[in-house]
Structure 1
């Protein structure tokens, strides 16, 4: 029986410091290509949000007279303080801007922020939110559509078939506020030819209309 061949010794993997110039160039080209591909996959609203975040960062750095690439624990905390106390931004907005600035610094300037510095800035933001007793910040929940405002919109619609379509879509979408207004004013008579929009908590919505479309007279 022939003797077993000796096992081939495992080759030692090269360390990054041992890469030659040709390998470094190929890796750099791969990095650039992957960055371009990742940027193409990014949604447009994310790109716009990052741009807005960087604009706020640039404005802050101009006032503090520091470079935009100065991303230290102190500058990040000062950025949070600036957005909270000077700009009166909401908590979620500031948190998102921190993330957007971090991404922009890493991708466009090659500046990698220490995670502990980012954590310190977010802890300051949490302290601000915990200690404040002011009303909620930001735009908040949009107010409900009022019936009088809905009537003004409907009256602006044209009298052709497209206007009929637009009025129907508006009234169907606003059935909740219309029903609430009707409950507050139960004695009000419905205008002739208007859509009747009963609002139920359960079950399908049933829309009752006249036998024929009152062309040009919906909700009038």
Structure 2
């Protein structure tokens, strides 16, 4: 059976995606300043010039990496469509469960944001205005509607959102500590679902 070879464009897209994945891992693990394009190129098995061809400089690569990350979040954790009906608690619970699963699959997301938030940067300002604020607007609307209709705890919706984000993300920011201190693997399927159950119980038990 003849297997068609990838076209030049397909190979170029594969290379680009591979560079983005490696860049995300490096930026999230070490921070922007400690990462070099040459180091990313070496891990990707490509010439340093290839990264400059696809992305330009390191700042542009970081922005492309962040864009890829937030676009992936939108695909994997889509908010419910509330255009024709109000939000209910089941909507929020399902959204939170999917978000837990996402954070477990992609711990580099939270780590990248923590790296940038430690000192603040123009990069963080850009990603906040471009992706985070628009995303939060939809989730805050969902929380507010659920508070009005279903008796969800009357906490400031923004603070409630950040409380949920913090509780969801923390085991995937501290996976090594959990392992070394308590010999607990937070990334097994059973542990991830148990964490989702616990977060949902903590938030919605009222």
TM-score range, shorter chain: under 0.3
| Larger helix fraction of residues | 2
The TM-score with structure 1 as length reference comes to 0.27
Higher relative contact order (CA 8 A, sep 6+): 2
The TM-score with structure 2 as length reference comes to 0.28
